Structure 1
Amino acid sequence: MAQSEINLDHDVPILHLSSFWTKSIVGFLAFVCFVNSFDGDFVFDDSEAILNNKDLRAETSLGDLWMHDFWGTKLSSNVSHKSYRPLTVLTFRVNYLLAGGYHPVGFHVVNIILHCIVSLLMLDVFSILFGGLTYNSKGRRLNLAPKASLFASLLFAVHPLHTECVAGVVGRADLLCALFFLLSFLGYCRAFLQYNKEGKQFSISWLLMSIFLGAVAMLCKEQGITVLGLNALFDAFVICKINMAGLIQKLLHRGKVLESSTFLSKGFLLRIIFLASGGTAILYIRWRIMGTGPPAFTEVDNPASFADSILIRVINYNYYYSLNAWLLLCPWWLCFDWSMGCIPLIKSVDEWRIIALVALWFCLIGLIYQALCSEDSHKRRILSLGLGFLIIPFLPASNVLFRVGFVIAERVIYLPSVGYCMLITYGCSILNRQVKNKKLIAAAVLVIMFINMMRCIIRSKQWRSEEQLFKSALSVCPLNAKVHYNVGKNLADKGNQTAAIKYYREAIRLSPKYVHAMNNLGNILKERHELLEAEELLSLAVQIQPDFAAAWMNLGIVQNSLKRFKEAEQSYWTAIKHRKKYPDCYYNLGRLYADLNRHSDALNAWRNATALKPDHSLAWNNLIILLDNAGNLAQAEAVGREALELLPNDHSLMFSLANVLGKSQKYKESEVLFLRAIKVNPNTASYHGNLAVLYHRWGNLEAAKKHYEISLKLDPIAPGTKENYNLLKRKLEQLQKRGHI
């Protein structure tokens, strides 16, 4: 199945290098572009996929991992996003175990290495796409287009649009998917080695291996299944050399095309049956595991898909495609999130933005026409495969097959960019052929490569922390409510509530139904005791989204502070109705019952909280204190010991149990716990004050005096401490007068 060398390689403006240096350059540049992200934090979606994902920890069995979505939620749950990527999560789990916890360096290093490996694989992929399948007598494939494959691989390695995949840890799903996607494609090409050597049609074992690798790619990210469609396209245009224009002409004029078609004799239909059967089986298994229908996205996730008019939906979808194409061509305006007003809807056909999608389809139709109807077989092959790589992996994100939960996602363009790099390389070859000054073209290529590298380095730095990432988006998407929300959240986490309020208010102004911004702003206002406005915001949030459990709980806290206890209790129970396992809500419900002196109900609520979340320190503490205050010292001691077994280093639990043991006259045990608590947290006045009381009761007056003085130094107005200290001093004076000291 040898093919002649294509002229393209002679027209690509790049020096010829040996295989070793070619791989070294591609790997090195891919590494340099993103290496400064290696010690970045977990940012944006990393919080949910990594930090809050129980599937990374040993508490979840490996079997459960295969029944959960990418975020650790059961696939059968109605709140699951249905993103089934168990192999990606498994690599996160390995990272977690090897690092001994949530240390981001290891996660980032793996991502950088994966991108370097994918970039190196691109050399083999592009050599096949540009140079065809040609083998020597020893069965080794020859690279007939080394310069073209190097040029395209470099374009891929240093493309700034890939920063999100590499610098964001959750981008590993796209990196792993791309890795196995390319291996599946190369495996499919390998299936034809025997055809070249022994005259056989193809290797069934390699064909099955390609299908298996496609399934592995899909287990990394759903996009991976599209490799089977790409393999079929490659088979048609490279292996069988189908000429669509000639085929249509024969069909129209002769009517008996299929009888003489060469692709039938080469086993094309049999291979397509294999690919179709494998793809169907994979999708069926995926559907059975998923258990239910697709996830339910909201209008803020993908506003175009909720437009009433089909025409408006189609126009906006195509506008999104044009923006994706523009990001490939000019990856300067990059944003971590493109939803919630970042791209306003086109609401009529007379908007000027229609020009963008007209330009896109003008180019696509021209390329498709040339791919199908050109008399040059090499041109047909390159354009067909370039468009195939550009379009087929993008289909799952196109809203054509199903609704997606985003407007634009830079991550999903990682694989389609292979087609872009191929088409750009072909375009450069044409330009280089027509321009006499070859050095000028080479210089321009070097400048573009350098600019892309600098953009990668700058963008990777922005992905190092949430503060830089979120603020970088303000200039790109100033109308994006989620950008303002995330900037506000980052500021609130750092304690800058005043600035956070400003951004939360702007997020709500831009998106008046943004319930998460309302909830977070309501929380801050609650802490600042601006209770009436907090109640108004939280009430509006639950009105807009009645199943928003967190907002219901926070509304209950505000109502409790406003002494509207009955309404608060109802809000808490509504939150629990919408989220059955909600330990924080049970904790706050217990506080409400304690305020109402409904001690039995409070104990039950806190017990529920600790059952659902065994490390809920506040709930355990309140249980101990309530039992202590009620005089149930034996029960309080039992609960305290149970809590300390689960949280052996919690100084507040040591303190609470020490108080109980002191009242039970178990002075030695109480002293040990007080001293342990002080060792962990030495600057808490009450710890020293209560230890002093213990020593006072125990008769160790000098030790009591020492800790009373430390307590008063830490908190001069501590209630009761000064009075107890004065009592001790009088007692010491009396003992001195009597000569007992």
Structure 2
Amino acid sequence: MEFRKVVLLLAVMFGLCWINYGMTLKNDFLMDDTNYIVNNPARFDMEYLQLSFLGIEGKLTAKNHAYFRPVYHVVMSSMYAVFGMNPVGYHAVNICVFFLAGITMYFLLLYLFKDPSLAGCAALIFCVHPIQGALVNYANTTAVILITILLNLSFLNIIKAVREERWTAWRLTVAAVLFLFALFCHEIAVVFPFLLVGLLFFVLRLSLLRIVLYTLPSVVSLLIYLYLRGLYVNKIFTLSDTFTFFQIGFGDYVAAFAQLMVWYLSKLVMPTGIVFMWEVPLIREAGHVIFWGVVMVLLVAGVIGLLYMWRDDEPCFLGMLWMVMSMVPVVLACCARLNYGIIFEPHWVPFAHIGFFLLVARLLTGLNDNMSRYLVGMVITIYLIFLLVHSWHYNWTWQNPKRHLIYWLRETPYAYLPNFWLASEYLKEGDLDNARVYYQRILERKHVDADTYVNLGVIEHHSGNWDAAMRYYHQAIKRNPRYANAYNNIGVIYRDRGETDKARRYFQKALEIFAYHPDARRNLEEMAPK
């Protein structure tokens, strides 16, 4: 009978995933998908795949990398080999992988708490909460969803090693390997040791020595990842240097971080106005900083109070603990693009989502103590429908990139990404005037990126304003000396002016930076003597 209930639950989860996200099959490739799938001639290069440490060299160099995600790249290139430029295949795979992530979460919570109702309720919420919508609506996020599967399986192996005390070394090794592969998918997996220590200490009640022993293999995996990452990524992110460059004080940062946390918590509870990235501008007005500093103190006090109140309620305690500990890497990650502002992307914290789903499931199933089972089931059903309706609306906006970007701009009118991507959509359509309007919004910011300058240069180039275009391209190179597109576009202007020697040098420079640059290669071939 129990097996039949599990099968029924999994069938309901599968149905909910497809009912919720089936409309994503109509999605075209969206914003970031262009860079990873559509316009990516280096997709099969060993250096791009970040596998050259195996001894097979590619044409790219480590300078082309801002991160180390070999499994992510291999997954995307493999999917391109199967589906090519057909987005339906990518989205169908994402729905299935998302369903598998829900299954692994269900079995993790079931094994941990031995409560089928609790685990099942949390799994159903997982399937329909719109906070995770971007993961399925994008085509290039398969490996990011895979992180949840890998880390859930890592947790399961470690918990089994603790409770059953059999095959301990084997299970810890498997968990460490799974964690390493999760890191190879995306660096957001770095949160795993923090979550693991919290689980081992507060829920499984292990001694400090045993916690060290059970955590050590995962720490070794993290060290291996950091070593390999160092072979590809030369940039070292330091908070102090970044704060100095952008002239940010500690109070400014705390105030902005408090706003991020309030936004995230509000979207978990009332899932309206969810966007791919929430951006908080740095406001240095003293009253603003003091107000949000007080809010941050109240948030911390509230968390401590809830943890104390739920100290004997393991599901509630773990849910809250994982929500808090998932924010540890966000302390750094939110400052990674300070030219945008202090930022937060919900897909950074999958286990904060899971912690919230566990917490809500515990509160809902706890109603059984005072209400009939059928009434509790009705409450849960109404809540799931509430989430599903909001998720449908969110998914509907994703079906059309311009529709989604306009929706995003309603929530954050001066955010960088929606302005940039909407301008890029207009530029692709040849609507230069509207494209210029949204790029000009970005120019009003203190720190402007190279991409904006290049695209403004393209607009002026197409408008026949070559001198203005040249100025924008040189501004882009000033921001990023290794921006191949800027060199190629300058070469095009020189070629059109008849200055072929200068044009050739700029095309060659573009290829020196990015060996697969299709436009620079084609331009050089066209200039070659017949």
> Bigger radius of gyration, 1 or 2?
1
Determine which of 108, 117, 126 is the counterpart of 2:100.
Answer: 117
Paired residue total: 516
Specify which structure has the bigger relative contact order, considering alpha-carbon pairs within 8 angstroms and separated by 6 or more residues. Answer: 2
Q: Which residue of 2 aligns with 1:149?
A: 119
Task: Give the Cα–Cα distance (whole angstroms) in 2 for the partners of residues 581 and 344 of structure 1.
Answer: 33
- Shift of the 555–286 alpha-carbon distance from structure 1 to 2, 3 Å rule, reads same
What code does the residue aligned with 1:344 have? Answer: P
The alpha carbon displacement at 1:179 in A equals 0.4
Root mean square deviation, CA, Å? 3.8
Report the equivalent of 1:44: 31
- The answer to whether the Cα contact below 8 Å between 1:118 and 1:179 also exists between their aligned partners in 2 is yes
Matched, 1:391 2:374: no
1:26 and 2:13 are equivalent in the alignment: yes
Q: Deviations over 1:79-114 (max 9, x none)?
A: 4212x2222322223222223x23222211111001
1:66 maps to 2:51: yes
CA distance in 2, matches of 1:414, 1:97: 28
Q: Which of 253, 256, 272 pairs up with 2:212? A: 272
The answer for unaligned runs of 5 or more in structure 2 is none
Deviations 1:340-367 (A, max 9, x none): xx42224245224446434422321212
Among 260, 271, 275, the alignment partner of 1:320 is 260
Instruction: Give the counterpart of 1:426 among 339, 353, 362.
Output: 362
1:168 aligns with 2:103: no
**1:95 and 2:79 matched:** yes
Identity %: 19
The residue type equivalent to 1:48 in the other structure is N
1:503 matched residue in structure 2: 438
What residue number does 1:182 align with? 152
Please state whether the residue corresponding to 1:478 is helix, strand or coil: coil
Instruction: Look up the equivalent residue of 2:31 and give its one-letter code.
Output: F
Contiguous gaps of at least 5 residues in structure 1: 1-16, 132-144, 241-262, 588-608, 628-635, 637-741
Q: In structure 2, what is the equivalent of residue 219 of structure 1?
A: 184
Give me the whole-angstrom Cα distance separating, in 2, the residues matched to 1:284 and 1:349. Answer: 41
Partner of 1:454: 389
Corresponding position: 1:350 with 2:287:
yes
Of the three residues 107, 110, 115, the one matched with 2:90 is: 107
Secondary structure, counterpart of 2:464 in structure 1: coil
Residue 169 of structure 1: SS of its match in structure 2?
Answer: coil
Q: Partners of 2:516 and 2:10 in 1: how far apart?
A: 54
Q: Please state whether the residue corresponding to 2:273 is helix, strand or coil.
A: coil
The one-letter code of the counterpart of 2:105 is M
Cα displacement string for residues 344-400 of structure 1 (whole angstroms, at most 9, x for unaligned residues): 2242452244464344223212123335xx4x3xx1x22332133323344323318
Q: Is the 8 A contact 2:72 2:185 kept in 1?
A: yes
- Helix, strand or coil at the partner of 2:280: coil
Q: Write the mapping of 1:541-580 to structure 2, written as runs, cut at 5 A.
A: 541-543=476-478, 548-555=483-490, 557-558=492-493, 573=505, 580=512
CA distance in 1 between counterparts of 2:52 and 2:123 reads 37
Q: How much has 1:203 moved relative to structure 2?
A: 3.0
| 1:78 alignment partner, SS class | helix
Work out whether 1:86 is the aligned partner of 2:18: no
> With structure 1 as the length reference, what TM-score do the two structures score?
0.62
Secondary structure of the 1:43 match is coil
Q: Is 2:525 aligned against 1:620?
A: yes
Equivalent of residue 302 in structure 2, options 363, 367, 374: 363
Aligned residue number for residue 602 of structure 1: none
Structure 1 letter corresponding to 2:330: A
Decide whether the 8 Å contact of 1:556 with 1:569 is kept in 2: no
Counterpart amino acid of residue 332 in structure 2: N
Partner of 2:269: 329
Q: Structure 2 length normalisation: TM-score?
A: 0.84
**Are the counterparts in 2 of residues 535 and 555 from structure 1 also a CA contact under 8 Å?**
yes
The one-letter code of the counterpart of 1:311 is: G
Partners of 2:151 and 2:514 in 1: CA distance: 40
2:243/2:249 contact within 8 Å kept: no
- Once residues 427 and 366 of structure 1 are traced to their aligned partners in structure 2, the CA distance between those partners, rounded to angstroms, is 17
Q: Contact 2:72–2:144 (CA<8 Å) still a contact in 1?
A: no
Go from structure 1 to structure 2 and tell me whether the alpha carbon gap of 1:518 and 1:214 turns closer, same or farther (over 3 Å shift). Answer: closer
Of stretches 320-329 and 34-43 in structure 1, the one that deviates more from structure 2 is 320-329
Task: Tell me, in whole angstroms, the C-alpha distance in 1 between the residues paired with 2:471 and 2:82.
Answer: 47
Deviation at 1:473, TM superposition (A): 1.4
Residues 1:485 and 2:417 are matched in the alignment: no
CA shift, 1:120, in A, is 1.9
Residue 410, structure 1, aligned to residue 395, structure 2: no
